[in-house]
Chain A
C-alpha cells in the first residue's frame, strides 16, 4: 500500500516547539516558591543563568546526536559505554522522565484539589489526568507533534495572556535593588532551576526524526531560540511574582503564582476568580509535558527491548506512575524526590553527556586511524 503519510520527519522549528512545550510545564506553578526562597531578590538572574547553562547542555546533546545520525541514544549508548554502561545510562535517562512525571502528578493533584475543588480526593484528579495522558501517549508521534503545536499556539498564549493581567498590580519598586548581592545563592539557584527547564533531554531521542538536511548551525540556532523563549517566560513569571508580592510574602505562600493571580481585580468585567482561569489554562500545559514524557519513556523501553510498538510499554508504565505519584505523601518526600531528580538530571547533563562526547570522539578517531 502506498504510504501517503509524508510526515515522518520533523523540521527544526518543530523540534524547537517540542522542546519548548516539553520543558515549560507544570513546574512554573510548583517549584517557583523554593527558587525564590533560595535566591531571594535575585531569582530572575538565577533563571537567566540557568537558561544559559542548560542551553550549553542542549548544545552538547545536539552535537552528540549529530555524530550518530538516524540513531537515538538507546542505540548508541551501548556502543559508547559498553553493554553494562549503556544500560545504566539508558536506565538513568528513563528514570529522569519517570521521576519528573510522578512529581508533576503529585503536584497537580495537590494544587487542583486545593484550589479548584474542596473534597475531591487527589487520587481521582491524578487518575483522570493519567487516563487522558495515556490516551495521548498511545498514539504515534505524528499525532503528538500536531497536538503539541496546537497546544503551543493556543494554550500557551492563553496562559500568558491571563498571566499578563497581573501586571495591573505590579509595583516595580519591589524588584529593587536589581544587582546581585549574594552571588553564591544566585549560582545555586541557577542550578536548581533544572526543575524548571527539565525535559530537554528528549532531544536525544528526537534527533533522528529531524531532516538530515538541516545543518547543525541552523538546528542550534533554532533550539537556542526555543531556550530564549523559555527563559523569557520564566523570567516574566519570576519578575511579576516578586513585583506583585514581595520576596517575603512569596516565600510564605506555597504557590505564589496563584496568589499573584488572585490579587488581580478586573473591575467592570464579568471575569472573577482569575486563578481558576489560570489553572484551566495551565492544565493543557501540564498535559502536553506529561503525555510527551510518557511517550518518550515508552519509546526508550521499546527500543531497549527491540519491540516494534511502544504501546504495551506505555500501558505497563501506567500503574507504575500511578503508584509512584500516590506514594509521595507530603511535602518533605516531594522535596527529597525533587532534589534527587535535580541532582540526577544535572549529573546526566553535565557529566554523562560530555563524557560520551569525548568517548565517541576518541572512538571515531581510533576507528578512523584503524584501517589502512
Chain B
C-alpha cells in the first residue's frame, strides 16, 4: 500500500480574500448584533403601538377617549412624547381626578388657573358648603362647563385628533376621570408683533395700520372698520402637518355667485405639508402659474382689503404672515393705491396716468435707448445726435452690452440692499451711488446718457404700488433688451405687442387681467381706472367684478 496522493488542500482565502474564516466569523458576530438590536427596536415599537392600539380607533384618529383617565393620560403622553413644553397638571375635582394639559408659553396660565383650576378645585371639594354636593353630580362636560367653569370660550371634544390640535394651538385641555370627553378652553396668549405701520404700502394722509402675523388680530382689524353682519369669515385649515388656519372673507350679498365656492374648492385641493407664506397658497389658486405677472393682489393694509371686499372680491388671510391676498385681481387694481382716494381727484388722475407711464418706462426705456442708438440714430435731432456720438466715442462697449452690464449691476445692487442689515444700508447706498453714478462714467466704461436712462428706469419701477408687479416689470426688461438689440425699434414694438397679448390672455378667477382697461362694455368702470373722478360720481361698483348689487348705497331693508 503506498502513500495515496491526496489532492493538495488549498486555502480558499488565498484566492478569494473575502472568503477567509476570520472574516466570516467577524461578519457573523456583527450580524448577530444587528439582529439583537433590531429585535430590541421591534419590541419597543410594539410596546408603543400596543399602548396606542389598546383601544379601537377610527381610521384618522390615533386613539379614542375612554372614561378611564389614567388610560387617556397614558395615550396622550405617548403622543406628546419628547415634547417637554407640554404641561400635564393633575388635580382633584371633587372626588374625581382631573387633568389639565396645555402648552407652556401659548396658553394663558393665569387665566387657566383662575377659571379652571380654582373653580374645579375649590367649588367641588367636599369642604365647600354651597356646592359640595355637586361633586358627585358631574354627568358630562357640558354641565361642568355651564355650571362650574368661568372661562369665556369652551368647546366639548370627543375626538382625539381635535384634542391634540387644541393643545397645539395653545388651548387648555381638561380631562376628568369618568368622562369620555375632553373640554378645550380657549385661553390663548402668546408673543406676537404689535400693530405697526405697513412696510411697502405707506400712504401720506390716511390710516397706517397694517396686518400682523396673528389671524385673530387681522380679522379684528377688518371687523373694526365695518359693522356689517354680511361680512362673512370662513376659516379653513391647510397643510397636512402644519395645519395652518386660513380665513376667507367676503360680503355675502355682494359677491358674484360661485366665486367663494370656487375659492374654497381650490383651497381644499391644496395638499402640502406646511404653509408658511401666503405665496404658497397663491400659486395653487391662480390659473397661470407660469406667467410673470401676479394674479392675486397682496396687501398688508386692512382698509385696502375692506374696500376690495365691498367691491365684490374675496380676501384670504393666512395665519402667520401679514401678507394677505385678494382675488380676483386685474391690472387696474394693482395700479391703485389708497393715496388716490385721499387727495384731490384731478391730482389723483394725473398721478395715475403718471404711474401708467412709469410702468411703460420701467420695461421699455433701456430697450428704446439701445434701439435708437444702434439702429435708428436718425431719429435724434442733429445736435443731440452729435453730442451723444461724442459721449459714446469714449466708451468701448457696444450699446447692448453696456445696457446689459448696467442692468446686471442694478439688479445686483437691489438684491444686496434688501439683504443688508440696517446699519450697513446707508453706507452701501453711498457706495452704489458713487460707483454707478460717478466712477463708472469717469473710468470711461459707460456713457452718462446710459446712466440717466438706467436711473430713470429704476425709479420708475420703484413707483409701482404693488411689489410683485414691479418685480415682474424689472425682469421683463431683459427680453426686451434682447429684442431691441436684434431688431431695433421694430423688435421693441413686437415686444410691446407680445407682452400686451400675454397680459390680455391672463385670467384671474374669470376676470381678465388687462381687458378691463379699455373694454367698451365696461365703460362705466373707466371713471376709476386710468383717471379718478370725484367721489360723487363713483356711485356704482366696478362692473367687471360682477357684484350683485351695483349701487354703492346700503341695503334698503331694515
Contact = CB atoms under 8 A, between A and B. Distances in A.
Q: Do A's and B's CB atoms come within 8 Å in the complex?
A: yes
Interface of A: 1-7, 11, 13-14, 17, 112, 116-117, 120, 124-125, 128-129, 132, 135-136, 139-140, 142-143, 145-147, 149-150, 152-154, 270, 272-273, 276-277, 280, 283-284, 287
A150 B504 contact: yes
A150 B514 contact: yes
B7 interface: no
Interface in B138-172: none
A125 to B, nearest CB: 7
B490 A112 contact: yes
A272 B383 CA distance: 12
B1 interface: no
B256 interface: yes
Given A11-B520, A149-B520, A116 B494 contact: no
Given A13-B520, A140-B505, A283-B490, 20 more contacts: A2-B258, A2-B261, A4-B509, A6-B510, A13-B521, A116-B488, A128-B494, A129-B494, A135-B501, A136-B497, A142-B512, A143-B515, A145-B515, A146-B514, A149-B518, A150-B500, A150-B504, A152-B518, A153-B518, A283-B493
11 contacts: A4-B511, A6-B510, A125-B490, A128-B491, A135-B498, A139-B501, A142-B515, A146-B515, A149-B518, A270-B380, A284-B493
A112 B490 CA distance: 8
Given A272-B380, A280-B493, A117 B375 contact: yes
B517 to A, nearest CB: 7
B379 interface: yes
B510 A5 contact: yes
B507 A270 contact: no
A150 B496 CA distance: 12
B262 A2 contact: yes
Nearest to B511: A4
A175 to B, nearest CB: 31
B501 A143 contact: yes
B518 A150 contact: yes
Main secondary structure of the interface of A (DSSP, over half): helix
Contacts of B380: 270, 272
A318 to B, nearest CB: 16
Contacts of B215: none
Interface string B215-230: 0000000000000000
Residue of B491, B501, B510, B519 contacting most chain A CB atoms (<10 Å): B501
Given A129-B494, A142-B512, A276-B376, A149 B519 contact: yes
Given A132-B501, A150-B504, A276 B489 contact: yes
Interface in B84-112: none
Contact of A4 (B262, B382, B517): B262
Given A116-B489, A142-B515, A143-B505, A273 B494 contact: no
Nearest to A1: B262
Interface string B519-557: 111000000000000000000000000100000000000
A13 to B, nearest CB: 5
Nearest to A137: B501
B179 interface: no
A254 B127 CA distance: 113
Contacts of B259: 4
Q: How many interface residues does chain B have, given as a range?
A: 35 or more
Contacts of B494: 128-129, 132, 283
B449 to A, nearest CB: 13
B381 interface: yes
A124 B511 CA distance: 36
Q: Considering residues B265, B380, B488, B519, which has the most beta carbons from chain A within 10 angstroms of its beta carbon?
A: B519
Contact of B376 (A116, A136, A150, A152): A116
Given A2-B262, A273-B378, A128 B487 contact: yes
Contacts of A3: 510
A238 to B, nearest CB: 26
B384 interface: yes
A135 B502 CA distance: 9
Contacts of A154: 518
Contacts of B504: 139, 143, 146-147, 150
A212 B278 CA distance: 43
A198 B259 CA distance: 42
A287 B500 CA distance: 12
B518 A139 contact: no
A4 B487 contact: no
Contacts of A4: 256, 258-259, 262, 509-511
Contacts of B510: 3-6
4 tightest CB-CB pairs across the interface, nearest first? Answer: A4-B510, A146-B515, A2-B258, A143-B505
Contacts of B261: 2
Contacts of A13: 520-521
A143 B512 contact: yes
Contacts of B546: 6
A280 B489 contact: yes
Contacts of A1: 262, 265
A269 to B, nearest CB: 8
Nearest to B262: A2
A1 B490 CA distance: 42
Contacts of B514: 146, 150
B284 to A, nearest CB: 15
B501 A273 contact: no
Contacts of A270: 380-381, 384
A233 B265 CA distance: 51
A17 B520 CA distance: 9
A154 B270 CA distance: 41
B551 to A, nearest CB: 19
Contacts of B507: 5
Interface string B451-491: 00000000000000000000000000000000000011111
A112 to B, nearest CB: 6
A90 B19 CA distance: 85
A270 B510 CA distance: 44
Nearest to B385: A272
Nearest to A150: B518
B516 to A, nearest CB: 8
Contact of A273 (B256, B265, B379): B379
Contacts of A135: 498, 501
Nearest to B546: A6
A207 to B, nearest CB: 17
A202 to B, nearest CB: 18
Contacts of A112: 490
B487 A276 contact: no
A223 to B, nearest CB: 14
Given A4-B259, A11-B520, A11-B521, A128 B490 contact: yes
A41 B508 CA distance: 54
Contacts of A284: 493, 496-497
A93 B467 CA distance: 49
A140 B506 CA distance: 11
A108 to B, nearest CB: 10
A68 to B, nearest CB: 25
Interface string B245-270: 00000000000111101100100000
Contacts of A283: 490, 493-494, 497
Q: Give the one of B487, B496, B511 with max A CB within 10 A.
A: B487
B378 A272 contact: yes
